[in-house]
Chains A and B, each alone.
Chain A
């Protein structure tokens, strides 16, 4: 089972949020964009530990964009859709009556807060405000909170005191696990163990030294407060009653040399997470609940980047592993986490990403997700690898320029700077797809998915016989991103032209040639002669510098390749001056920057 969609209206940062979700959700976004509010919205509906007083919201919880005073039509609503539950009759028993569609089955639960049953518009009073929850599309029928006990949402808050909780028996995540063990353990065996411990304790406390110490302490207390107030004190190891024995067990680290209280913040958090995960799995196995949605707020706290990657790879991928092995049961926990950490984003399954950001032109946040992204298996692997290596940079960007290779990643930001654009400051990322397969990236960034402004810069790549590779590439991408009606009835040259309107830019040859021709021949030739190991190449460069018209394109490209395109571009980037720039690149800058400010 999973949450398939969240719709929020008029709640805190959100005017109208509508976002689809995959198996798990990793929510990223800038500070104050509403990541925690999104989780709180889910808690209003699903967290059984949240008291009803907290479910009763306040005026300030209404979205700021609503004019005050609020009217009777202003309501906060939080609707969550559940999917993939029809194969399990336990979920179907809980959710079956709340269906909104039958094939496939989708159930919806909605929390509403607002003025209830108001007759007279003028008379909306604070006391009219209340919340209720309904299922399916039947807003006239209230449902109780029983579903919350069956499919609850548990929250691990950002600033949790892992060390403190581990040390305190009442709050320790170890407690439910030990309680479970003590139910199963054989009573007589336990009694024998208790006796042995009792004997050992007596042997230890019976030594003259220990007995003397105990007496000394007692005596000191009596000196302080008198016999009447003296405490009945003894030294010992642990309670020796069989029932309390199990609870006396404590966690140790470093080969039992140190208690968990001495663990580093990081280790304590690691332990805490592991125990919590175990507890949740057991709750489901024991039938106490049917599924847990575990919300983790900023789980990166106190964890070393390397550990972050390992721990959350396990959390987020566990289910995928189990399915891979065939007969294993489904994971009974779905994870919803908010994070700033590129390390966590980089290990997240591609379809689990949710990006929250400020909506253009509105004082509210919008959300986009990768849940409905349809990719071939290789495409998905490509993208996940890219996100891993780049630490998810693309997800945090306001705009993206997709390029073919390393050379562009040096040259494009440099050209932008010379034209007066600081891409870093603008939040525009230049991303190399290492080749010419732009398709998965375009799908990810396109309007159907993340909807981030992006441009594709690709080479014409002329071939023998007047053919080229670039046009076909653009036409294929146009099918994905250009609205159908803009392509209808057009021939290929027209289509390629209108693809520019959707951010697909083709040059006339290749980056280096187009750069040369736009007026950067001097710096290029200097760079070439500087870096080449071949005397002849240096001579050719000098000649082309003087007479650009004599450029032999094939030769020029070969000479650059001998140096290495990347190395060449890196050096060239630092040498360029002035503002000559190929038109397609200039247009791409205007296209992306215009859309992300």
Chain B
């Protein structure tokens, strides 16, 4: 091998690392040798720091067959990390795991060690589909709460209790809410009796196996001497306990990145302080990334006011940024109309080369999403919508289908996404294929499908072909894909003749991960980690953010952080709309004015000008 070729193989991250050298904190994280916690503000280059550091550790600190496990919050985040790592020459492989805590626990803890550790779930692990979970939940609910209580609206509290009360031998398991604890126990045992597990089970069983068995920790540490965690603030107690067990009880090395200020999943069990508590442990090097490479200083200052805590982040940008407010007394529809007809056209005109893809409308929930979507349609703009009410759920399978669509729609010319990555994921889905020749057949049918579908077509037809020639057998065979069958059926429905996305093309499906000429419609929660030139925040009413139920300073913390996260998505412009009232489900209006966070920001802006 020529030395130039060898250099190409080895060091893509070394040149990338030169970018970190100018920032003392990023460089410190890059140079860390032991446990390292990186507290990273918005836009501080945390993903860049994390991926370059991971590439370095994979090259310099571990040697196959040992490797690194990188855990992050969602399959979306995992996809982004994979993409960024690939640019640094790192691909997911046997010695580089990149995925969610759920898939880590399932693939690397429960499946390999569960049976030997005495976890008897009857044969192969099958994941319950949401309807099965709901049915079991509804079955056991009356056994605890009686026949007359309606089993609705309990799921969030149930999930949170389950994720935050980890030690079931502790007094507070039954002490805090005995009925809920009993409900959880009944639900789990019914689920397991049927040979099923659910999403949280993966994580909770994984944690249990790790905590209770020295040999499991020993095996994991041998396999993955380094654990990388991204979005630590969102990952909750189960992951925190896994980290404590693997990194502080056994000898795994930790590289954790996160921002407590961006912890917005408290309702799901996330606890912002966990990361800071790690940083106080002896032997942990803590690095704070202070530079903001994204937003103008004005936007940063306003955000810190909304957050209620000074952070002292410094912008690297020359522009200060703008923040504007729009009162729309007629209500949400008016807000949506102004955004589409006034704010967006003006923003597009203000800067050369700015496109719809550089703009995002952020809102609180699915209803707001419906309203803005209608207005955007009326205005004739292309858009992508990401929220729970989005046209389909983003799961590993639907994410992969988007990638396949992107490949078919022209990605094959440029090698993005890579065919090999698509094949690897496909093989992962087909986990129970046992022989080489079967594996080969599977690979062949994917490649045939992809190569045969490179001409433009509708997403619906494309998905039908994919289902018929590719997915049906796999979905029906693989127990770990059971829950994906629902997501897939739904995607096919919305792209079908009667569906909302009936006009979507393959290119459009491929562009659902983000595209330069599509406006972004996203909930505040889903916007985390993203950045846009222009951000519109819609429906910023007192009583919604913070919600009417949040009355104390403490309970307003999380809504503050959510508001903060929204502001910090913007590079140049923030536009906030409000009507000054909220509407309940019977149509009654409550006039409480604009969000108190808006008022705080306005006051600050006035003072400084």
Q: Mark A114-139, 1 if CB is under 8 A from B, else 0.
A: 00100000000000001110101110
Establish whether residues B219 and A96, one from each chain, have CB atoms under 8 Å apart when the complex forms.
Answer: yes
Contacts of B108 in A (CB 8 A): 97
A592 to B437, CA, bound (A): 52
A52 to B94, CA, bound (A): 21
Establish whether residues A96 and B222, one from each chain, have CB atoms under 8 Å apart when the complex forms.
Answer: yes
Pick from B66, B113, B435: contact of A99, CB below 8 A.
B113
Q: B323 to chain A: closest CB distance in Å?
A: 52
Contact residues on A (Cβ < 8 Å of other chain), bracket: 20 to 34
Q: A581 to chain B: closest CB distance in Å?
A: 58
A223 to B357, CA, bound (A): 80
If A130-B438, A141-B111 touch, does A92 touch B219 (CB 8 Å cutoff)? yes
Q: Does B310 contact A (CB under 8 A)?
A: no
Establish whether residues B434 and A86, one from each chain, have CB atoms under 8 Å apart when the complex forms.
Answer: no
Establish whether residues A290 and B65, one from each chain, have CB atoms under 8 Å apart when the complex forms.
Answer: yes
Pick from A89, A134, A290: contact of B225, CB below 8 A.
A89
Contacts of A92 in B (CB 8 A): 218-219, 222-223
Contacts of B433 in A (CB 8 A): 142
Establish whether residues A137 and B115, one from each chain, have CB atoms under 8 Å apart when the complex forms.
Answer: yes
Contacts of B223 in A (CB 8 A): 92-93, 96-97
Establish whether residues B116 and A99, one from each chain, have CB atoms under 8 Å apart when the complex forms.
Answer: yes
Contacts of B67 in A (CB 8 A): 93
Establish whether residues B431 and A141, one from each chain, have CB atoms under 8 Å apart when the complex forms.
Answer: yes
Establish whether residues B66 and A93, one from each chain, have CB atoms under 8 Å apart when the complex forms.
Answer: yes
Contacts of B63 in A (CB 8 A): 287
Establish whether residues A150 and B434, one from each chain, have CB atoms under 8 Å apart when the complex forms.
Answer: no
Using a CB-CB cutoff of 8 Å, which residues 428-442 of chain B contact chain A? 431-439
Pick from B65, B94, B221, B432: contact of A141, CB below 8 A.
B432
Q: A87 to chain B: closest CB distance in Å?
A: 10
If A102-B215, A116-B435, A130-B437 touch, does A136 touch B65 (CB 8 Å cutoff)? no
Establish whether residues B218 and A86, one from each chain, have CB atoms under 8 Å apart when the complex forms.
Answer: yes
Q: Does A103 contact B (CB under 8 A)?
A: yes
Contacts of A141 in B (CB 8 A): 111, 431-432, 434
Q: Mark A98-121, 1 if CB is under 8 A from B, else 0.
A: 111111010000000000100000
Closest to A151 in B: B65
Closest to A287 in B: B63
A140 to B113, CA, bound (A): 14
Establish whether residues A136 and B116, one from each chain, have CB atoms under 8 Å apart when the complex forms.
Answer: yes
If A103-B215, A150-B65 touch, does A93 touch B222 (CB 8 Å cutoff)? yes
Establish whether residues B434 and A97, one from each chain, have CB atoms under 8 Å apart when the complex forms.
Answer: no
Q: Does B10 contact A (CB under 8 A)?
A: no
Establish whether residues B434 and A132, one from each chain, have CB atoms under 8 Å apart when the complex forms.
Answer: yes
Q: Mark B101-126, 1 if CB is under 8 A from A, else 0.
A: 00000001001110110000000100
Contacts of A571 in B (CB 8 A): none
If A94-B65, A150-B65 touch, does A99 touch B219 (CB 8 Å cutoff)? yes
Q: Does A161 contact B (CB under 8 A)?
A: no
Contacts of B66 in A (CB 8 A): 89-90, 93
Q: Mark A402-438, 1 if CB is under 8 A from B, else 0.
A: 0000000000000000000000000000000000000
Q: B114 to chain A: closest CB distance in Å?
A: 10
Contacts of A134 in B (CB 8 A): 434
Using a CB-CB cutoff of 8 Å, which residues 417-466 of chain A contact chain B? none
Establish whether residues A100 and B435, one from each chain, have CB atoms under 8 Å apart when the complex forms.
Answer: no
If A116-B435, A130-B437 touch, does A89 touch B221 (CB 8 Å cutoff)? yes
Contacts of B222 in A (CB 8 A): 89-93, 96
Q: B571 to chain A: closest CB distance in Å?
A: 43
A138 to B114, CA, bound (A): 11
Contact residues on B (Cβ < 8 Å of other chain), bracket: 20 to 34
Contacts of A102 in B (CB 8 A): 116, 213, 215
Q: Which of B66, B112, B115 has the most CB of A within 10 A?
A: B112
Q: A148 to chain B: closest CB distance in Å?
A: 12
A103 to B223, CA, bound (A): 19
Pick from A93, A100, A130: contact of B65, CB below 8 A.
A93
Q: A71 to chain B: closest CB distance in Å?
A: 19
A93 to B252, CA, bound (A): 13
A537 to B145, CA, bound (A): 108
Pick from B94, B112, B431, B439: contact of A146, CB below 8 A.
B94
Contacts of B431 in A (CB 8 A): 141
The number of inter-chain residue pairs (CB within 8 angstroms) is 80
Closest to A138 in B: B115
Q: A95 to chain B: closest CB distance in Å?
A: 9
Establish whether residues B218 and A131, one from each chain, have CB atoms under 8 Å apart when the complex forms.
Answer: no
Contacts of B115 in A (CB 8 A): 137-138
A142 to B427, CA, bound (A): 12
A94 to B115, CA, bound (A): 19
A235 to B436, CA, bound (A): 53
A262 to B94, CA, bound (A): 48
Pick from A93, A140, A150: contact of B432, CB below 8 A.
A140
Closest to A147 in B: B65
If A90-B65, A136-B112 touch, does A116 touch B434 (CB 8 Å cutoff)? yes
Contacts of A98 in B (CB 8 A): 112
A94 to B65, CA, bound (A): 6
Using a CB-CB cutoff of 8 Å, which residues 217-235 of chain B contact chain A? 218-223, 225
Closest to B124 in A: A140
Q: Mark A204-246, 1 if CB is under 8 A from B, else 0.
A: 0000000000000000000000000000000000000000000
Q: B265 to chain A: closest CB distance in Å?
A: 31
Contacts of B432 in A (CB 8 A): 140-142
Q: A52 to chain B: closest CB distance in Å?
A: 6
A190 to B362, CA, bound (A): 67
Establish whether residues A52 and B436, one from each chain, have CB atoms under 8 Å apart when the complex forms.
Answer: yes
Closest to A97 in B: B112
A159 to B218, CA, bound (A): 44
A134 to B115, CA, bound (A): 15
Q: B143 to chain A: closest CB distance in Å?
A: 34
Q: B152 to chain A: closest CB distance in Å?
A: 38
Q: B389 to chain A: closest CB distance in Å?
A: 37
Closest to A116 in B: B435
Establish whether residues B215 and A132, one from each chain, have CB atoms under 8 Å apart when the complex forms.
Answer: no
Closest to B213 in A: A102
A131 to B63, CA, bound (A): 30
Closest to A88 in B: B222
Closest to B62 in A: A93
A142 to B64, CA, bound (A): 21
Closest to A137 in B: B115
A131 to B213, CA, bound (A): 34
Establish whether residues B435 and A142, one from each chain, have CB atoms under 8 Å apart when the complex forms.
Answer: yes
Q: B545 to chain A: closest CB distance in Å?
A: 46
A102 to B214, CA, bound (A): 10
A101 to B222, CA, bound (A): 17
A100 to B218, CA, bound (A): 15
Closest to B66 in A: A93
Q: Which of A89, A94, A105 has the most CB of B within 10 A?
A: A89
Contacts of A96 in B (CB 8 A): 112, 218-220, 222-223
A89 to B218, CA, bound (A): 8
A92 to B63, CA, bound (A): 13
Q: Which of B65, B115, B435, B438 has the most CB of A within 10 A?
A: B65
A383 to B433, CA, bound (A): 50
Q: Mark B186-229, 1 if CB is under 8 A from A, else 0.
A: 00000000000000000000000000010100111111010000
Closest to B215 in A: A102
Which residues in A have some Cβ–Cβ distance to B below 8 Å?
52, 86, 89-94, 96-103, 105, 116, 130-132, 134, 136-138, 140-142, 146, 150, 287, 290
Sample of 4 more A-B contacts, CB < 8 Å, known A92-B219, A97-B112, A130-B436: A90-B222, A92-B222, A102-B215, A132-B434
Which residues in B have some Cβ–Cβ distance to A below 8 Å?
63-67, 94, 108, 111-113, 115-116, 124, 213, 215, 218-223, 225, 431-439
Can you pick out 14 interface pairs between chain A and chain B where the beta carbons lie within 8 Å of each other? A90-B65, A96-B112, A96-B220, A99-B113, A99-B215, A100-B116, A101-B116, A102-B215, A131-B435, A137-B116, A141-B432, A141-B434, A142-B439, A146-B94
**Which A-B residue pairs are the 9 nearest by beta carbons?**
A96-B219, A92-B222, A97-B112, A142-B434, A132-B434, A89-B222, A130-B435, A93-B222, A93-B65
